[in-house]
Amino acid sequence: MPQDLAALAPSAIVCVAFLIGGWMLLRRELAPKRRKRAAADGHQTSERSHEPGERSES
């Protein structure tokens, strides 16, 4: 039994590394869209929360 597990270990390591790499790639590729959307939502929210004559302190 331990020999069988030892034979599968390299394949399991490669599989885990591939899944983690794919997850990181997807997060990196999708992150700019989320950031732009969050920035646009934040900008619209800040515009609505201030009165027309007020200045923001940013």
Query: Domain spans of the chain?
Result: 1-31
Q: Give the CA distances from residue 10 to residues 2, 16, 20, 32, 35, in Å, rounded to whole numbers and listed in that order.
A: 14, 10, 15, 34, 37
Q: Does the pLDDT at position 19 exceed 70?
A: yes
Residue type, 36: K
Model's pTM, two decimal places? Answer: 0.52
CA 48/CA 58 separation, integer angstroms: 16
Specify the residue for token string 């515009």: 47
24-54 pLDDT, tens digit per residue, is: 999 998 887 766 777 887 766 655 555 555 5
Count Cβ atoms below 10 Å from residue 32 Cβ, excluding itself: 9
